[in-house]
């Protein structure tokens, strides 16, 4: 029967069928890995799998096949520079929780996330949390960022998880979708999840009872069914997703507001830095592309190593 991976702890997985049956599952034998990626984990949260319940053990099952992925997101693996760890698969959208205070999310961090998501064709909603502690300075910054990112085409929201302000709007955005949630430590992901799923008490459920060694599983992603329909993938401990498999000349495609200018550059392999006749730079100078976004672009560009083909 078919099931979805809800949690991965390495060698064991929690899977759920369409009818809501949950199993602890393990992989049968060695699977051929997905061919387009060299990953350290063959299956990730969100993957669709085929399972066979084990005879005489109602709670256990074997994973016998893995379905094709619609999309996936990776982080670089601690086990080697060129190895990737799949964080989650088959998402409809991602939310990035940001804060303008305690702690302050940098625009560079936001832009790196947006590039990664765009490269994987995942729409992003930016949720700014901790509205209750914003003063004039932070509100001005929020309005500036809201205008910038909505202008590019992203949805932007302002909430307070603590005061449960804006939670209904968040629920509406998440309804019936599979959403990856990310953000720096301390921005209030757990608080928001607890608002969305009262009674879950995230901290206690993060400790896995059955494996007996669940205390250190907080770095693995986990999926939750939302009461109003839809699913949420929490990615605790994943600070940043890898900008992988992006060529330098491709990066500007993932700065969505640069797209209309790309065909107008004099050189078709223009990297929009020093080239003459660059339409992107002209748009920055004309104020049509934000200078901050351009700085993010140039900064990320420097971190991309040119691959040898």
Ligand X SMILES: Nc1nc2c(ncn2[C@@H]2O[C@H](COP(=O)(O)OP(=O)(O)OP(=O)(O)O)[C@@H](O)[C@H]2O)c(=O)[nH]1
Q: Is 301 left (phi over 0), alpha (psi -120 to 50) or beta?
A: alpha
The count of C-alpha atoms lying within 13 angstroms of the C-alpha of 22, restricted to the half-sphere facing its C-beta, is 8
Taking CB under 6 A as the criterion, the residue among 161, 233, 243, 258 binding ligand X is 161
Residue 253, marked binder = no
Chain contacts with Zn ion (rule: CB under 5 A): 265, 270, 272, 278, 280
Query: Does 93 sit near ligand X (CB under 6 A)?
Result: no
Q: At its nearest, how many Å lie between ligand X and the CB of residue 230?
A: 20
Tokens linked to 64: 């016998």
**166 near ligand X, judged by CB under 6 A:** no
Alpha carbon separation from 169 to 24, 109, 156, 174, 200 (Å, rounded): 34, 24, 11, 9, 20
| Residue 60 near ligand X by CB under 6 A | no
Q: Is 201 in the site for ligand X (CB under 6 A)?
A: no
Distance (Å, whole) CA 170 – CA 160: 11
The only residue of 7, 84, 130, 293 in contact with ligand X, by rule CB under 6 A: 130
If the CB atoms of residues 11 and 204 are measured against ligand X, the closer one turns out to be 204
With respect to Zn ion, which residue has the nearer C-beta, 158 or 265?
265
* CA-to-CA dists, residue 219 to 10, 63, 87, 211, 229, angstroms: 11, 23, 10, 15, 25
Q: Does 105 bind ligand X (CB under 6 A)?
A: no
Q: Is 184 flagged in the annotation as binding?
A: yes
287 is in an annotated binding site: no
Identify the three-state secondary structure at position 163.
coil
26: left (phi over 0), alpha (psi -120 to 50) or beta: beta
Could you say whether residue 103 binds ligand X (CB under 6 A)?
Answer: no
Q: Confirm or deny that 189 is annotated as ligand binding.
A: yes
CB of 31 closer than 8 Å to CB of 66: yes
Contacts of 276 (CB under 8 A, 6+ apart): 266
Supply the minimum distance, in Å, between the C-beta of residue 103 and ligand X: 9
Structure tokens at 285: 């100078």
Shortest Cβ 297–Zn ion spacing (Å): 11
Minimum CB–partner distance for residue 192 and ligand X (Å): 7
Residue 292 Cβ vs Zn ion, minimum distance, rounded to whole Å: 18
Q: Which residues form the interface with ligand X (CB under 6 A)? A: 129-130, 132-133, 160-162, 183, 185-191, 236
């Amino acid at each position: 029967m078919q099931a979805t991976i809800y949690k991965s702890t390495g060698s064991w997985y929690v899977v759920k069928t369409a009818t809501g049956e949950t199993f602890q599952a393990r992989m049968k034998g060695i699977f051929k890995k997905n061919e387009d990626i060299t990953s350290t984990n063959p299956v990730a949260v969100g993957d669709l799998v085929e399972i066979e319940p084990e005879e005489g053990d109602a709670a256990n099952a074997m994973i016998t096949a893995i379905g094709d992925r619609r999309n996936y997101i990776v982080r670089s693996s601690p086990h080697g520079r060129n190895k990737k760890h799949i964080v989650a698969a088959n998402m409809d959208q991602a939310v990035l929780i940001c804060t303008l205070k305690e702690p302050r999310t940098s625009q560079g961090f936001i832009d790196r996330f947006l590039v990664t998501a765009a490269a994987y064709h995942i729409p992003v909603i930016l949720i700014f949390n901790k509205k209750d502690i914003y003063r004039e300075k932070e509100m001005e910054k929020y309005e500036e960022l809201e205008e910038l990112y909505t202008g590019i085409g992203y949805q932007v929201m302002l909430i307070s998880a603590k005061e449960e302000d804006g939670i209904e709007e968040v629920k509406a955005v998440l309804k019936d979708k599979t959403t990856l949630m990310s953000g720096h430590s301390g921005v209030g992901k757990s608080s928001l999840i607890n608002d969305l799923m009262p009674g879950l008490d995230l901290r206690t459920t993060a400790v896995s009872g059955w494996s007996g060694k669940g205390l250190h599983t907080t770095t693995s992603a986990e999926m939750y069914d939302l009461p109003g329909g839809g699913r949420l993938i929490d990615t605790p401990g994943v600070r940043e997703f890898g900008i992988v498999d992006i060529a330098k000349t491709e990066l500007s495609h993932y700065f969505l507001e640069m797209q209309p200018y790309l065909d107008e550059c004099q050189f078709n392999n223009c990297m929009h830095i020093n080239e003459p006749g660059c339409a992107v730079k002209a748009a920055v100078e004309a104020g049509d592309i934000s200078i901050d976004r351009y700085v993010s672009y140039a900064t990320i560009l420097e971190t991309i190593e040119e691959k040898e083909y």
